[in-house]
Chain A
Amino acid sequence: GEDVEQSLFLSVREGDSSVINCTYTDSSSTYLYWYKQEPGAGLQLLTYIFSNMDMKQDQRLTVLLNKKDKHLSLRIADTQTGDSAIYFCAEGGHTNAGKSTFGDGTTLTVKP
């Protein structure tokens, strides 16, 4: 079945770049998503990339997609303490964004 894998933890210093990696198995995924979850809250869509794209940039966020290796990454430039959260990679979009397969999340800790 579909599977999404992420490393569980990442720690960086404020001002550094953060790179969160994800691998997925479903080669037919049309959309790949990055969500952010702050403590005790729901998920907030950060960005998404369509499967025929290699890269998408949105302010401090850069998403890279290697479709051959089924590898997705999220780079956060100039990481701030407010970026500390859990980041979820998800694949799907076959019918609707809500029906996606999620990774277990990467907890990003930003140290001052």
Chain B
Amino acid sequence: DGGITQSPKYLFRKEGQNVTLSCEQNLNHDAMYWYRQDPGQGLRLIYYSQIVNDFQKGDIAEGYSVSREKKESFPLTVTSAQKNPTAFYLCASSTSQAEAFFGQGTRLTVV
């Protein structure tokens, strides 16, 4: 089945740790995106990549980093510099203006 897969579904991070969220797609999409969702709020764009080996900052990139070494994969690292990382993280991919496909999300909690 074609789709976009995020893992893990739940992730716990200690203060001061870096953690990496995985996002893989087999839709052959060039563009991939990371969004953050907080309760009662919409999605805010963290980073996006329109092609392999290239990515751009979104609206809230501080404290996050990404890489795009393969077309299928766009991992997001939440660094210790991100002061309020507890949130629901959504990855998406797209190849057109008409539709974006979202993963099922990773819920990150700082303990």
B residues within 8 A CB of A98?
A: 31-33, 48, 92-94, 100
Contact B42 A102 (CB under 8 A): yes
Interface size, B (range) = 20 to 34
Q: Is B73 an interface residue (CB 8 A)?
A: no
A42 touches B102 (CB 8 A): yes
Number of interface residues of A (CB under 8 A): 26
Residues in A neighbouring B50, C-beta threshold 8 A:
95-96
On B, residues with C-beta under 8 Å from A are 6, 31-33, 40-43, 45, 48, 50, 90, 92-105, 107
For this complex, 20 residue pairs linking A to B, each with C-beta atoms less than 8 Å apart, are: A8-B40, A31-B97, A42-B103, A43-B90, A43-B92, A45-B99, A45-B100, A48-B99, A93-B97, A93-B98, A94-B97, A96-B94, A97-B96, A97-B98, A98-B31, A98-B33, A98-B48, A98-B94, A98-B100, A105-B40
Residues of chain A touching chain B, judged by Cβ–Cβ distance below 8 Å, are 4, 8, 30-31, 35, 40-45, 48, 88, 92-100, 102-105
